[in-house]
Amino acid sequence: MSVDPRTLVVALVQAASGLDPAANRDALSDLVPDGTDLVVLPEAFARDFGESGSDVSAHAEETTGPFATTVAALARERGTTVVAGMFETSGDPGRPFNTLVARGGAQADYRKIHLYDSFGYRESDRLSPGALHPVIIDVQGFRVGLMTCYDLRFPEHGRALVARGAEVLVVAAAWVAGPRKVDHWRTLLRARAIENTVYVVAVGQPGPRYTGHSLVVDPWGEVVAEAGEGPEAVRATLRGESLAEARRVNPSLLNRRL
């Protein structure tokens, strides 16, 4: 039986963004490490959401603007791929996109599909949803699907990415803290890994406003790395051999009938 020799070294940067976009950009240099294949920062890292219901349109940028340009330069300098969240200008000046930019070894823009109209929030009042187009990037031979925060609660989104070949699901989040929220976060991440036999790499902003607990889950559903509530960076190595073995023992993707 052939062995899949691929490896992917990932860094999860659980750092808080502030309300000053320039300060957030300046922080990137200290946050993006060397020696990794993929670095993931949280949702809305270019500029935090601010108070609930705030108008963020004044802080939206093009994906060729200052934030994405800084991310791209650092990714080239460190020889990696960086994924990070920002608000992107849209056709509706008052409702930008909530976008993940991937720059470096891979380049893509993913605009959040599922807006957070839940738990008393109305993200769709201030943001526009992205097109129903799952986004996958290639990083070191791995197919990596991109998701943002509330997308996690929709299993069909993860399955759509896997149906297009994703072997790793990246979830960048600002998962708001509250009762049951850490349990939901960990449970849903493990479920997405188990049901799709994929690695899940999930990064959130830290407490106290958000939950933290950035983590990596393997295709068996085991948590292989996890941060606490506060600012922290963790690393993990994803292995093609583990992915292949999980899919051999549990061929649920091959057994699909619907």
Residues with catalytic function: 43, 112, 149
CA 122 vs CA 73, 115, 129: distances in Å: 34, 8, 12
Count of Cβ atoms closer than 10 Å to residue 69 Cβ: 16
222, HSE (Cβ side, Cα atoms, 13 Å): 7
**Alpha helix (H) residue ranges in 45-123:** 66-78
Residue where the block lists tokens 């830290």: 206
Which residue type sits at 158? G
Phi and psi, residue 7, nearest 5°: -135, 155
Contact call for residues 82 and 32 (beta carbons, < 8 A): yes
Contact call for residues 100 and 145 (beta carbons, < 8 A): no
| DSSP H helix total and E strand total for the chain | 5, 12
